[in-house]
């Protein structure tokens, strides 16, 4: 039946059938709401399917507000405390999905990310959600307390609208900046979006690293006050690997990144090596702590060629300091095409941290990556998607 202009077709329209939209729609439906869930893609949850190397790192046991970046670092606290990793694990277990902790609290499916998408779609079915895919969301209007959304040739009408269309990271998966345009239309501010969890690129001066393409090493990467001990991977264009992806979220153009190549070695390690094995060359000494190609290149770069026993203590101390505090200025990042998430987004200043509702527009909500809350690598972003979606779903 064609809708009449002022008669709601649904209680809530959710835009975006990704992690946050699917979860929010399913919950709201199961709470008795008539929900429409709309996406321009031809299938739901495409990012979930490729996440975690196809096994979906669906949460992190160490979820805490200080593992999220936002202009308001306290904003995520409320939602994260009301829907926790344990809550999502309980849901996953209810569906009989086997999982394991890989490292650092990161939980993955034993089988496939497809199981998480199937679970979320089933949750939507249990809530009677009207899931509509493969058409463009056209105009979105708001008048008399109702939102009117053009979807293909249809008009859907509801007193509540949830923006869950994510951010522009990986456009080839259907990611867009639609959430920001819509938010601005409703008077919400947008914190400048930027690629995050993204490989960093290097200019000519740091050619040292490019020669090492394919080599990886356990390091501590620092950017400002943030520090991550994980693997760094040298690439043709610069640096990647978990330690670099993590610091990339904190890095700003023109800023520096610092790497400690000797996280496991005690202070004055090279002096001790000189005493114990004076005939050793620096490259060989470094080879005990680092992959050989990297050890050779770093030794050349700090300019110590002779045996440790013939090198002055002062020079060895200087070399060690350089290896512990290798500072460089990335020329850029690999951009939204390679970013795992978008930092920035719809400003939390106009949103309620309890409900994710827009303070100035009753009935309007924003959840997931569209919002200026960005998690660390390792399941934190999905946990934000679930928690923010839950906050909205119980408030609608
Ligand atoms: P999401 O991007 O999932 O969904 C948005 C939906 O909106 C999409 O379905 C899209 O088609 C739709 N949409 C966009 N524009 C639209 C428009 N104009 N009209 C209609 N629909 C529109 N996180 C994590 O915690 N663990 C992990 O293992 C990984 N792994 C990972 C790997 C890769 C390669 C990427 C790119 C990302 C990850 N992430 C991750 C991040 C995680 O995928 C991301 O944070 C969540 O998917 C965000 O969920 P949302 O629902 O907010 O957006």
Give pLDDT, residue 1.
46
Give pLDDT, residue 207.
67
Instruction: Determine the Cα–Cα distance for residues 30 and 11; give it in Å rounded to an integer.
Output: 13
| Ligand 1 center–CA 314 separation, angstroms | 51
Give pLDDT, residue 4.
55
Give pLDDT, residue 5.
65
Instruction: Determine the Cα–Cα distance for residues 17 and 320; give it in Å rounded to an integer.
Output: 51
Name the burial class of residue 289, with classes exposed (0-12), middle (13-18) and buried (19+) by CB atoms within 10 angstroms of its CB.
Answer: middle
Q: Could you read off the pLDDT of 13-50 as tens digits, one per residue?
A: 999 999 999 999 999 999 999 999 999 999 999 999 99
What atom in ligand 1 is closest to the CA of residue 175?
A: 14
ipTM value > 0.90: yes
Instruction: Determine the Cα–Cα distance for residues 92 and 81; give it in Å rounded to an integer.
Output: 19
Give pLDDT, residue 196.
98
| Ligand 1 center–CA 166 separation, angstroms | 6
Give pLDDT, residue 70.
98
Q: What percent of the chain has pLDDT over 70?
A: 98
The residue ranges of the chain whose pLDDT is under 50 are 1
| Ligand 1 center–CA 19 separation, angstroms | 6
What atom in ligand 1 is closest to the CA of residue 379?
A: 25
Nearest C-alpha neighbor of 51 from the set 101, 112, 118, 134: 112
What atom in ligand 1 is closest to the CA of residue 45?
A: 9
CA distance between the termini of the chain: 25
| Ligand 1 center–CA 371 separation, angstroms | 12
């Amino acid at each position: 039946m064609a809708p009449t202009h002022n008669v709601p077709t649904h209680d809530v329209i959710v835009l975006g059938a990704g992690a946050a939209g699917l979860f929010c729609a399913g919950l709201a439906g199961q709470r008795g709401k008539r929900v429409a869930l709309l996406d321009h893609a031809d299938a739901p949850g495409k990012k979930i399917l490729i996440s975690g190397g196809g096994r979906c790192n669906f949460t992190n046991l160490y979820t805490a507000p200080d593992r999220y970046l936002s202009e308001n670092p306290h904003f995520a606290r409320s939602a994260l405390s009301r829907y926790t990793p344990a809550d999502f694990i309980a849901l996953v277990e209810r569906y009989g999905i086997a999982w394991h902790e890989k490292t650092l609290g990161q939980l993955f499916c034993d089988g496939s990310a497809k199981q998480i998408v199937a679970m979320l779609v089933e949750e939507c079915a249990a809530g009677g959600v009207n899931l509509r895919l493969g058409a463009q969301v056209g105009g979105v209007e708001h008048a008399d307390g109702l939102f009117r959304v053009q979807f293909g040739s249809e008009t859907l009408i509801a007193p509540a609208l949830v923006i869950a269309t994510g951010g522009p990271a990986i456009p080839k998966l259907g990611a867009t900046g639609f959430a920001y345009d819509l938010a601005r239309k409703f008077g919400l501010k947008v914190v400048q979006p930027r690629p995050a969890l993204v490989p960093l690129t290097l200019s000519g001066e740091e050619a040292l690293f490019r020669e090492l393409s394919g080599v990886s090493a356990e390091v501590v990467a620092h950017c400002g006050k943030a520090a991550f001990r994980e693997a760094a991977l040298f690439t043709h264009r610069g640096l990647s690997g978990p330690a670099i992806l993590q610091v990339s979220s904190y890095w700003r153009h023109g800023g520096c990144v610092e790497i400690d190549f000797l996280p496991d070695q005690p202070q004055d390690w090279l002096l001790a090596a000189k005493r114990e094995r004076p005939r050793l060359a620096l490259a060989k000494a470094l080879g005990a702590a680092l992959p050989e190609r990297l050890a050779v290149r770093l030794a050349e770069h700090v300019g110590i060629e002779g045996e440790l026993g013939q090198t002055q203590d002062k020079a060895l101390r200087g070399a060690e300091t350089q290896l512990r505090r290798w500072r460089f200025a990335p020329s850029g990042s690999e951009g939204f095409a390679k970013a795992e998430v978008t930092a920035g987004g719809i400003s939390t200043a106009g949103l309620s941290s309890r409900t994710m509702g827009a303070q100035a527009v009753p009935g309007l909500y924003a959840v997931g990556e569209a919002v200026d809350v960005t998690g660390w690598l390792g399941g934190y972003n999905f946990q934000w998607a679930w928690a923010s979606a839950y906050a909205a779903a119980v408030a609608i």
